[in-house]
Amino acid sequence: MSEMKSALLTKCFALIACLAASITLVSAQEDELAVGTIKTVVIDAGHGGKDPGCHGAYSNEKDVCLSMALKLGATIQEKYPDIKVVYTRDKDVFVELDERAKIANRNNADLFICIHANAASPSAYGTETYVLGLHRTEAQQRVAERENSIIYLEDDGGEKYKNFDLSPDAIIARQIQLSVFLDQSIDFADKLQREFKGIGRYDRGVKQAGFLVLYKTTMPSVLIETGFLTNPKEEKFLNDSLTQSQMAASMFNAFKKYKNQLEGIDDQVEDVVIEIPEEQEPKVEDPKDKVVFRVQIETSSKQVDLTDSKFKGHTIHEYKQDGLYKYTVGMFVNDYKSANDYKKKMREEGFEYAFVVGFVNGERINLQKAINLAEK
């Protein structure tokens, strides 16, 4: 027998063995699903603590994710008091990747919702939802690799995952093992994308990739990429409290429809609708008592329209000092290094006199003082 045939048979036997071993699990899943009630939901705000996730000009993934996660959880608890809502984190702390899945498994969760934000070129935009599976494009692979890279920030530097198998064969085997839950994950993901599209978000679709956190959960599980922090307009959208509430409401409405379909009922709970006035631009406020670094690119004796072509499409913050109007870009909380890096980028774009300035509670302060305060 050739080595190729032998290897192929070995793979087949491995898949068959995995399928046989999972018969009891799948049967148990089907029995549980027949009951069709959702008792516990685990909401996972991506990243946290020493892991900021991806970032835009002034915000970090960990912060926008936590805000939307808490808003979603609060809405579920308000509308369905009997459903237990568990957060993998409810504050800015670091939680190891496998611990997130363990929290869901320990609590016998009926649904796992993982909330993230994306990063790519400044032109990328829209919302996409992932389930466990094989990536079909390099872009999907990059998303999974970026979200999985959190393991290198763990205490053991990711050592516990050293022999972890995310090969195509292993993922296929896992899909077979959790086939009932995978179908439900796809169904819920589809409902999420429909709701996001309903509030005007660009629909990037339901996708599959090898996310460690989805691999280790044993219930219907999705990972939502809510938008691109690297796109200035999307960053503004994801940082505004009102539009965060709109995203969380969309997640809730998808959850409600998924729950009703699973349980075969119509519970008469109305969709949550967050109205955004057309004339209202999302506003990003400086965090209280924190040092905010910005990059100043323009000074004028007369007020300049924030959409003026001289600003080259950047989101502009205006302040007035000593009778002059001053214009800045970016917002870096307690992060002088990133602000300084952004200054270099602005100079490369043609703003040759760009420099870093520091603020506390909206008031500009001496830069060295700002750096010292940030370091504390």
Q: How does DSSP assign 171-191, residue by residue? A: HHHHHHHTHHHHHHHHHHHHH
Angle subtended at Cα 194 by Cα 113 and Cα 82, rounded to the nearest 5 degrees: 45
What's the pLDDT score for residue 307? 82
| For residue 66, pLDDT beyond 70 | yes
281: left (phi over 0), alpha (psi -120 to 50) or beta: beta
Question: Using only C-alpha atoms, what is the Rg of the chain?
Answer: 23
Domains and CATH numbers, the chain: 7-263 (3.40.630.40), 291-375 (3.30.70.1070)
Q: Are 54 and 61 in contact (CB under 8 A)?
A: yes
Indicate if the pLDDT at residue 249 is higher than 90: yes
The yes-or-no verdict on residue 8 having pLDDT over 60 is no
pLDDT confidence of residue 205: 93
Structure confidence by residue, pLDDT tens digits, 149-165: 555 566 666 565 555 55
The pLDDT > 70 percentage for the chain reads: 76
CB 200: neighbour CB atoms within 10 A?
A: 9
pLDDT of amino acid 152: 59
Asked if pLDDT for residue 351 goes beyond 80, the answer is yes
- Looking at residue 225, the DSSP 8-state letter turns out to be E
Please say whether the beta carbons of 327 and 297 come within 8 A: yes
Least confident of 61-65, 208-212, 251-255, 361-365: 208-212
The pTM (predicted TM-score) of the whole model is 0.65
Nearest Cα residue to 311 out of 301, 300, 322, 324 = 300
The string of pLDDT tens digits covering residues 260-284 is 999 998 888 999 998 877 655 555 6
Q: Is the pLDDT of residue 243 over 60?
A: yes
| Phi, psi dihedrals of residue 259, rounded to the nearest 5° | -60, -45
